[in-house]
């Protein structure tokens, strides 16, 4: 993204009145319009309480001209009522719950949508450890994680926790946004010290592409515009990086084809039989050989139907109906794939779990497991360990897993499942645990593999 010339005051927050804000958004819009669409990027923001997550998102929306004038006027009025001065509180653009505004923290997951040269879905997740399950929910579908670190406090426990959870959830693009650089005089040494501290911790995490950006969300430095106050930093602004980053799902040919059957379509007595669902990953092409799991049968793809007509090729995440050459008795939950890259099939699973229920998870308990489009009963055979939330290392699981705990368990299901390890395929490697008595979602799981391996 090319960055236009701008005066230094353009990086300052808007003053009283909507006029300066409109001018800023108009300038940003002229710079960001007319660029090719780079596709959809889902990203989450994380970090400790008061690191400035909500302020950063507010700055991102305002400076990229994504906030309507009437909404901005409402936020300015709410800011004036809060402090009596009228300085724009950018956090009010995302902290939508009354309790969030009263306490000054994020409680629930707030989703925001905007578009520049790329389309974005932001999940602003809570920073407090009490809401770890909310963080997991928001990050579960993200392609990239922005972990904020307060430059005046350095890398703290929550910074490490959220980075750990991001990598646990398979997020392979991590941006470490060193925020509030204005509080340390935009000092390069302070930034490099935080980078070194984060790298020492990140050495223990699974591989991820990390990118470090010094910024001040309050002042607008390196959020949308590159900062003139930190000439020593030669990298992109946050928005530039988000627009340019390439993700694995943008190359379907790199990912194995996985199509969970959701519904069987038989409209009448004309002999038509289609298997409807969403192509989770990869691509399918008419005429190719298919493997059906867990049954192990093979067939060929005779056609791909959609509401708008037939296709020669389907690419994830399209929703289509598959027509097979053979009349096979398939049902909901069968997994269609390519024989060259088959899924694993089994009843024994080892998985990392984030527990979301007030009732503890204990060995010997029975639950329902919903994996892709299939739901089966399962028993918890063993709790391997619980992650120490302070050291992020495995520890004993005495007493089971409590609310917001993360641990590793072993399950045995009532019927075979066709799956992939979560680190290979997030769609077929994840599941939810359901309390069969209350029908509540009790936990989220990421499959490690078969315990026997």
Dump pLDDT digits (tens) for 102-119: 444 444 567 888 898 899
Record the pTM: 0.78
- Give the pLDDT confidence of 212-255 residue by residue, as tens digits: 999 999 899 999 999 999 999 999 999 999 999 987 655 655 68
437 conformational bin, left if phi > 0, alpha if psi -120 to 50, beta if neither: alpha
User: Regarding the domain with residue range 252-337, which homologous superfamily does it belong to in the CATH classification?
Assistant: Translation factors (2.40.30.10)
Q: Is the pLDDT of residue 183 over 50?
A: yes
Mention every residue, 6+ apart, whose C-beta is less than 8 A from residue 354.
Answer: 132, 133, 136, 165, 404, 405, 406, 443, 444
Position 48 pLDDT exceeds 90: no
The CATH superfamily assigned to 8-250 is P-loop containing nucleotide triphosphate hydrolases (3.40.50.300)
Contact 412, 371 (CB under 8 A): no
Decide yes or no: CATH 2.40.30.10 for domain 344-449. Answer: yes
Contact assessment for residue 275 and residue 312, using Cβ atoms and an 8 Å cutoff: no
pLDDT (tens digit, 9 = 90+) per residue, 440-449? 999 999 999 8
Q: Which residue ranges make up each domain of the chain?
A: 8-250, 252-337, 344-449
Q: Which of 130-139, 155-164, 300-309, 352-361 has the lowest mean pLDDT?
A: 130-139
Q: Which pLDDT belongs to residue 140?
A: 81
- Same fold across 8-250 and 344-449: no
């Amino acid at each position: 993204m090319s960055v236009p010339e701008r005066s230094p005051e353009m990086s300052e927050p808007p003053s009283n009145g909507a006029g300066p804000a409109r001018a800023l958004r108009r300038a940003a819009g002229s710079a960001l319009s007319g660029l090719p669409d780079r596709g959809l990027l889902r990203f989450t923001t994380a970090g400790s309480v008061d690191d400035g997550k909500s302020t950063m998102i507010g700055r991102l929306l305002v400076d990229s001209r994504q906030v309507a004038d009437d909404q901005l006027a409402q936020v300015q009025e709410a800011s004036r009522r809060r402090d009596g001065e009228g300085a724009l509180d950018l956090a009010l653009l995302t902290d939508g719950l009354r309790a969030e505004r009263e306490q000054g923290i994020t409680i629930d997951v707030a989703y925001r949508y905007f578009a520049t040269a790329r389309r974005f879905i932001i999940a602003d997740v809570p920073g407090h450890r009490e809401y770890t399950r909310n963080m997991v929910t928001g990050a579960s579908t993200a392609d990239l994680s922005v972990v904020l670190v307060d430059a005046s406090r350095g890398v703290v426990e929550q910074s490490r926790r959220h980075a750990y959870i991001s990598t646990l959830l398979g997020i392979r693009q991590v941006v470490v946004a060193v925020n509030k650089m204005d509080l340390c005089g935009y000092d390069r040494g302070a930034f490099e010290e935080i980078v070194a501290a984060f790298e020492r911790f990140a050495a223990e995490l699974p591989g991820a592409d990390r990118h470090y950006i010094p910024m001040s969300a309050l002042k607008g430095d390196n959020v949308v515009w590159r900062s003139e106050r930190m000439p020593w930093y030669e990298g992109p602004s946050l928005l530039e990086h988000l627009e340019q980053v390439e993700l694995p799902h943008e190359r379907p040919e790199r990912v194995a084809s996985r199509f969970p059957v959701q519904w069987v379509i038989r409209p009448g007595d004309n002999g038509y039989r289609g298997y409807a669902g969403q192509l989770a990953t990869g691509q399918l092409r008419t005429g190719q050989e298919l493997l059906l799991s867990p049954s192990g049968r093979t067939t060929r793809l005779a056609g791909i139907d959609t509401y708008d007509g037939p296709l020669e090729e389907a690419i994830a995440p399209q929703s289509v109906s598959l027509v097979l050459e053979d009349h096979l008795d398939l049902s909901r939950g069968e997994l269609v794939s390519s024989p060259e890259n088959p899924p694993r099939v089994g009843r024994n699973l080892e998985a990392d779990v984030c527990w979301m229920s007030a009732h503890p998870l204990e060995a010997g308990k029975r639950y329902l497991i919903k994996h892709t489009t299939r739901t089966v009963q399962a028993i918890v055979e063993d709790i391997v360990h619980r992650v120490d939330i302070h050291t992020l290392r495995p520890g004993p699981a005495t007493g089971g897993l409590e609310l917001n705990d993360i641990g590793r368990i072993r399950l045995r299901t009532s019927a075979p499942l066709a799956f992939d390890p979560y680190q290979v395929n997030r769609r077929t490697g994840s599941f939810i645990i359901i309390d069969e008595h209350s029908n509540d979602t009790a936990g989220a799981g990421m499959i490690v593999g078969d315990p026997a391996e």
